[in-house]
């Protein structure tokens, strides 16, 4: 089948282009949108991600306040850091890089981020608002998936979307966003017994498993749209890309698919948050 | 097929029985669990529901504080009433009877209920916590459905659950609760194009549509468990009961199915909230 390759770099660029004038308008009011990123410990991939996000901010005129806490940081110390950022008027968004070291209560830390600054969409409160249709900052990867569908004008309403994965920042919110756009949504996971049969029903497949090449080519219905939110070592996604191309009508590559759009959504949410604050 | 009739009255009684000693223990500490109910306007069904809930409270020693506001109440006035109840230390739970008159911003009113007192599970914050697996008070009808499955020891893990309906207090939270118990969950709604085909896949069917006899008998797979959360005029559920009995292995009747358990979950949540507060 002829595939439409869903080029995330084009989508990301269009999102970033839409922010330029907004950042300029804010700066004329003396406001510089600011994203605080918190990295705890020395995980090299996490360090790379945080750096990429910070650099992406600065490229479009968003200030990046980079906080690096040592591996041995306690939950209480992390909560204090977040609390200070919650109260800091110059900070519009807070990103706590996942994962934090195992001794820290990550959920407690996420939950302590003020809803107005939860531009990465990690709090249960933000998730609930998103699921109810009035969330301001859904998780960035789910938001990126929706943006790709919108950019390429791929219809959602009445389609059967199958999401493989149910994490709080990926499977659950992307299921909620697709449901709000009137897809019929099935959420699958490690306890799903007949996964291949269910994926075969899908008009839209979202892979959010975190396992390389997990989604097989013969699970894809002819004409399905396939979105790969996975990113595994060696630039490998959660889908078996070549094999899935056989039946997919449209598909995201890895790299250059969902990833770049995710970062652009983080930038957009940070600018949104700065505008919200300016309007208060 | 021989059906197991899922008798909600038995389930409700077991929930209420489990509360007796807990209410007594609280009363020995000088604490009387208190549910405040707010009825706005003169809808006769709403008045009946609120009365039933209040009476059910009093029967097991929960105090019922009944507030009846006139039809012409403004959103601001309703918010003020809720705010006073949020601040009232003697009130442990707040129930705003749905629907409120059309001129009121119902969502804004729901959202203003303090999370600690949201025993009816209507806030987006409470929903988010429920979906993330640490909510204290899920919406009462979804909680009732889970309680019925638990009481009758009907397995959930690995089953395909199909939920028909996506309201914030029913379809969405019951989908979330089933997912958390490791079902594969499909959420359907008015824009679902091939509803009968999808329901036919279900091991567990939850009808939460609000349309009498909407779910047809020939949509039910042989052996499926069928839960009817609907309640329409004339004691008619959302499923065509007699027709669905042909293939269902277990089924809730209307009346006497989900309804009574819903009220018992409200009582349980109110006692939970009183205990939580006592422990502070």
Closest chain B residue to the Cα of A170, Cα to Cα: B132
Look up B120 and say whether it is catalytic.
yes
Of A128, A157, A187, the CB nearest to B125: A128
**B108 and B185 fall within a common domain:** no
Instruction: Provide the domain limits for residue B48.
Output: 30-115
**B101 and B168 fall within a common domain:** no
Closest chain B residue to the Cα of A193, Cα to Cα: B158
Provide the H-helix boundaries in chain A.
Answer: 8-28, 44-59, 75-87, 106-111, 124-131, 140-151, 171-180, 195-199, 241-245, 258-279
Instruction: Choose the mutation target among B186, B195, B199, B202 for the interface with A, i.e. most A CBs under 10 Å.
Output: B186
Q: How many domains does chain A have?
A: 2
ipTM above 0.90, yes or no: yes
Q: Is A127 in Cβ contact with B125 (below 8 Å)?
A: no
Indicate whether A110 belongs to any domain.
Answer: yes
Indicate whether A251 belongs to any domain.
Answer: yes
Distance from CA of B165 to the nearest CA of A (A): 10
Q: Is B131 in Cβ contact with A172 (below 8 Å)?
A: yes
> B162-192 burial string, b = 16+ CB within 10 Å, else e?
bbbbbbbbbbbbbbbbbbbbbbbbbbbbebb
**B246 and B201 fall within a common domain:** yes
Confidence band of A182 (pLDDT split at 50, 70, 90)? very high
Indicate whether A238 belongs to any domain.
Answer: yes
Of A125, A157, A184, the CB nearest to B128: A125
Closest chain B residue to the Cα of A168, Cα to Cα: B132
Average pLDDT, chain A: 97
In this predicted model, what pLDDT tens digit does every residue of A217-255 receive, in sequence order?
999 999 999 999 998 888 899 999 999 999 999 999 999
The pLDDT of residue A1 is above 90: no
**A176 and A236 fall within a common domain:** yes
Q: Is B131 in Cβ contact with A127 (below 8 Å)?
A: yes
Q: Which of B7, B97, B172, B203 is catalytic?
A: B97
pLDDT > 70: percent of chain B: 100
CB neighbours of residue A5 within 10 Å: 14
In this predicted model, what pLDDT tens digit does every residue of B158-170 receive, in sequence order?
999 999 999 999 9
**B164 and B102 fall within a common domain:** no
The pLDDT of residue B234 is above 90: no
Contact residues for A116 (Cβ-Cβ < 8 A; gap 6+): A273, A276, A277
Q: Which of A7, A120, A228, A240 is catalytic?
A: A120
The pLDDT of residue B96 is above 70: yes
Q: How far apart are CA B46 and CA B231, in angstroms?
A: 13
Q: Which of A7, A16, A97, A117 is catalytic?
A: A97
Q: Is B184 in Cβ contact with A198 (below 8 Å)?
A: yes
Distance from CA of B128 to the nearest CA of A (A): 4
Q: Is B128 in Cβ contact with A129 (below 8 Å)?
A: yes
Of B45 and B115, the structure prediction assigns the larger pLDDT to B115
CATH number of A78's domain: 3.40.50.10860
**A161 and A89 fall within a common domain:** no
Q: How far apart are CA A66 and CA B229, in angstroms?
A: 50
Look up A97 and say whether it is catalytic.
yes
Indicate whether B121 belongs to any domain.
Answer: no
Find chain A residues with C-beta within 8 A of B193's C-beta: 158, 184
Q: Is A194 in Cβ contact with B160 (below 8 Å)?
A: yes
The pLDDT of residue B2 is above 90: no
In this prediction, residues B148-152 reach a mean pLDDT of 98
**B82 and B173 fall within a common domain:** no
Distance from CA of A234 to the nearest CA of B (A): 30
Q: Is A179 in Cβ contact with B187 (below 8 Å)?
A: yes
Q: Is A186 in Cβ contact with B184 (below 8 Å)?
A: yes
Indicate whether A209 belongs to any domain.
Answer: yes
What's residue B1's pLDDT? Answer: 64
**B148 and B111 fall within a common domain:** no
Confidence band of A2 (pLDDT split at 50, 70, 90)? confident
Average pLDDT, chain B: 97
Indicate whether B272 belongs to any domain.
Answer: no
Distance from CA of B274 to the nearest CA of A (A): 23
Half-sphere exposure of A192 (CA within 13 A, CB side): 23
pTM of the model as a whole:
0.97
The pLDDT of residue B235 is above 90: no
In this prediction, residues A181-189 reach a mean pLDDT of 98
In this prediction, residues B176-191 reach a mean pLDDT of 98
Look up B97 and say whether it is catalytic.
yes
**B144 and B254 fall within a common domain:** yes
In this predicted model, what pLDDT tens digit does every residue of A138-152 receive, in sequence order?
999 999 999 999 999
**A171 and A213 fall within a common domain:** yes
Instruction: Choose the mutation target among A135, A187, A195, A199 for the interface with B, i.e. most B CBs under 10 Å.
Output: A187
The pLDDT of residue B280 is above 90: no
Token pair of A175 as six digits: 């299921």
Distance from CA of A161 to the nearest CA of B (A): 9
Indicate whether A268 belongs to any domain.
Answer: no
Return the top range by mean pLDDT from A44-48, B180-184, B234-238. B180-184
Going across the sheet that includes A250-251, the strands are A4-5, A250-251, A225-228, A204-207, A160-164, A184-188, B184-188, B160-164, B204-207, B225-228, B250-251, B4-5
**B153 and B190 fall within a common domain:** yes
Omega before A255 within 30 of 0, i.e. cis: yes
Find chain B residues with C-beta within 8 A of A158's C-beta: 191-193
Chain A residues in contact with chain B using a Cβ-Cβ cutoff of 8 Å: 107, 123-129, 131-132, 134, 157-158, 160, 166, 168, 172, 175-176, 179, 182, 184-189, 191-194, 198, 201
Single residue among B115, B130, B155 that ends a domain in this structure: B115
Indicate whether A17 belongs to any domain.
Answer: no
Closest chain B residue to the Cα of A128, Cα to Cα: B128
In this prediction, residues B224-253 reach a mean pLDDT of 95
Tokens 């396939």, residue located: A226
CATH number of A235's domain: 3.40.50.720
**A173 and A111 fall within a common domain:** no
The pLDDT of residue A125 is above 80: yes
């Amino acid at each position: 089948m002829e595939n439409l390759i869903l080029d995330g770099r084009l989508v990301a660029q269009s999102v970033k282009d839409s922010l330029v004038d907004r950042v300029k308008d804010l700066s004329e009011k003396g406001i510089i949108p600011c994203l605080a990123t918190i990295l705890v410990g020395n995980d090299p991939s996490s360090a790379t991600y945080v750096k990429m996000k910070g650099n992406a901010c600065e490229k479009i005129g968003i200030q990046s306040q980079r906080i690096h806490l040592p591996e041995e940081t306690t939950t209480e110390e992390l909560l204090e850091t977040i609390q200070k950022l919650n109260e800091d008027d110059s900070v519009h968004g807070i990103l706590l890089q996942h994962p934090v070291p195992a001794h820290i209560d990550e959920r407690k830390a996420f939950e302590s981020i003020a809803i107005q600054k939860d531009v990465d969409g990690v709090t249960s409160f933000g998730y609930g608002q998103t699921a109810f249709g009035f969330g301001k900052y859904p998780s960035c990867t789910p938001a990126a998936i929706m943006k790709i569908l919108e950019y390429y004008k791929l219809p959602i309403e009445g389609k059967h979307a199958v999401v493989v994965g149910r994490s709080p920042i990926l499977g659950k919110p992307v299921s909620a966003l697709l449901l709000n756009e009137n897809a019929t949504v099935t959420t699958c996971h490690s306890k799903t017994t007949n996964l291949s049969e269910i994926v075969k029903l899908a008009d839209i497949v979202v892979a959010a498993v975190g396992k390389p090449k997990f989604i097989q080519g013969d699970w894809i219905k002819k004409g399905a749209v396939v979105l790969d939110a996975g990113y595994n070592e060696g630039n490998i996604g959660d889908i078996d890309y070549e094999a899935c191309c056989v039946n997919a009508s449209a598909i995201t590559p890895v790299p250059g698919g969902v990833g770049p759009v995710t970062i652009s959504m983080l930038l957009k949410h940070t600018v949104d948050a700065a505008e919200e604050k300016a309007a208060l």
